[in-house]
Amino acid sequence: MLAILHPNTTLDSDAYRQTMHYLENLPNVSLRVHEVQGASQRLTEIYLLGDTKSLDKEEIEALPAVERAIRISEDYRILGRHKDDQRQSGFTYNGVEFNQQNLNVFAGLCAVDVPEHVEMMMKAVEEHGEVCTRMGAYKPRTNPYSFQGHGKGCLPWVFEKAGKHGIKVIAMEITHESHIEEIDTCLEKLGRPTGVMLQVGTRNTQNFELLKAIGRQSTYPVLLKRGFGITLNESLNAAEYLASEGNSNVIFCLRGMKTEAGNPHRNMVDFAHVPAVKRLTRMPVCVDPSHSVGTRDASPDGILDVEHATAQGVIAGANMVLVDFHPKPEKALVDGPQALLMHELPAYLEDIRLCHETWKKRQAIYQRMKDSAPE
Ligand code: PEP
Ligand code: MN
């Protein structure tokens, strides 16, 4: 059971004290208090765990600080979508909204290489009206002897350039909890010219120490990638585990599954799971067509498989696209062969907008059908 308190309930109020006194004395029930900072107000949610089946929802709702109570299922307590659960999805970070209705595109470099390429990339993103990008400074690799990224050394000039080009959010993978502090220290020193979304890569979806460290901070939102060799449920549980440490500003990213069955793609594209994740949880859902498709092959219609896969994810309601671009893929240090080219950016964004609008129209079609269905 989840008890949502009246907005802005203070912890020193009588209503809060009385409510907690009652809840703390429920037999075989333990409490977990979770603070949620919305755009305009702070919400306190109290998770009642344990023997809650016999609890009376109305009795909990009658407590002075409680606005409403929701019976929640066992799975994904914090991030899940429960019956009669009207809580909003998503969050705002550095002026950019992330939720299950809208769409943000993060086109950028898989790995930061030289300032000239970062500059070209960010300039292009800005010129096309976008405010987000991806920039890998810490790169986990399949082969540990491959290039692992420039690390904290590149952060100052990457963040400065982002500020110059009006970039509000950079998706940046971290592979160790010490990277959070490196990023934070650098941003602080520069006066926070941009924001960072901490990315958990597919190789780290079940790195529980990393998940805990990221979940304990709430300065930066999180992009959690699906593990490429585990079930969807296991990956969603990883997201829930992270959120249970305190940070529920999490976006879930589909990036394909590692299996021979995915050939000729690098991974088996799993974007049919976009609506499934939106149904099971309240997380905004991202698709990463670059790492799932992994090639620049095109079909006879002249459209690249990466572009087709993007369209498939967005038309199914994806809320974010994470995609590799590079001004000179032959010079890229990581994943050059799958990168889109700068001149392909405008058409790509146009295609994405078209698919996002089409998704909205699709919803309208089915809504009309429901509205006119006989009772
Ligand atoms: C990436 O996005 O750069 C990346 C390494 O992705 P993944 O963790 O999905 O392989
Ligand atoms: Mn990559």
Judged by its nearest atom, the ligand closest to the C-alpha of residue 225 is 1
pLDDT per position in the chain (375 positions), as tens?
999 999 889 989 999 999 999 999 999 999 989 888 776 778 899 999 888 888 999 999 999 999 999 988 778 989 999 887 777 789 999 999 999 999 999 999 999 999 999 999 999 999 999 999 999 999 988 888 888 999 999 999 999 999 999 999 999 999 999 999 999 999 999 999 999 999 999 999 999 999 999 999 999 999 999 999 999 999 999 999 999 999 999 999 999 999 999 999 999 999 999 999 999 999 999 999 999 999 999 999 999 999 999 999 999 999 999 999 999 999 999 999 999 999 999 999 999 999 999 999 999 999 999 999 887
Expressed in angstroms and rounded, the spacing between residue 68 Cα and the centre of ligand 2 is: 44
Instruction: State both tokens at 324.
Output: 């590799």
pLDDT of residue 241: 96
Mutate-to-test residue for ligand 1 from 106, 147, 148, 173, highest number of ligand atoms within 8 A of CB: 173
CA distance 269 to 278: 17
Atom 6 (ligand 1): residue with closest C-alpha?
201
pLDDT of residue 39: 66
Expressed in angstroms and rounded, the spacing between residue 141 Cα and the centre of ligand 2 is: 9
pLDDT of residue 85: 78
CA distance 241 to 222: 13
292 CB less than 6 Å from ligand 1?
A: no
- Delineate the domains of the chain, giving CATH numbers in brackets: 2-72 (3.30.70), 91-367 (3.20.20.70)
Got the DSSP string for 278-334? HHHBS--EEE-HHHHH-S--B-TTS-BHHHHHHHHHHHTT-SEEEEEB-S-GGG-SS
For ligand 1, what atom is nearest to the CA of residue 203? 8
pLDDT of residue 345: 98
DSSP H or E segment with residue 233? helix 232-243
Cβ-contact 250, 277 below 8 angstroms: no
Mutate-to-test residue for ligand 1 from 255, 269, 286, highest number of ligand atoms within 8 A of CB: 255
> How is the beta sheet containing 29-37 ordered, strand by strand?
29-37, 42-50, 2-5, 66-70
pLDDT of residue 40: 74
Expressed in angstroms and rounded, the spacing between residue 307 Cα and the centre of ligand 1 is: 18
Expressed in angstroms and rounded, the spacing between residue 324 Cα and the centre of ligand 2 is: 7
pLDDT of residue 84: 75
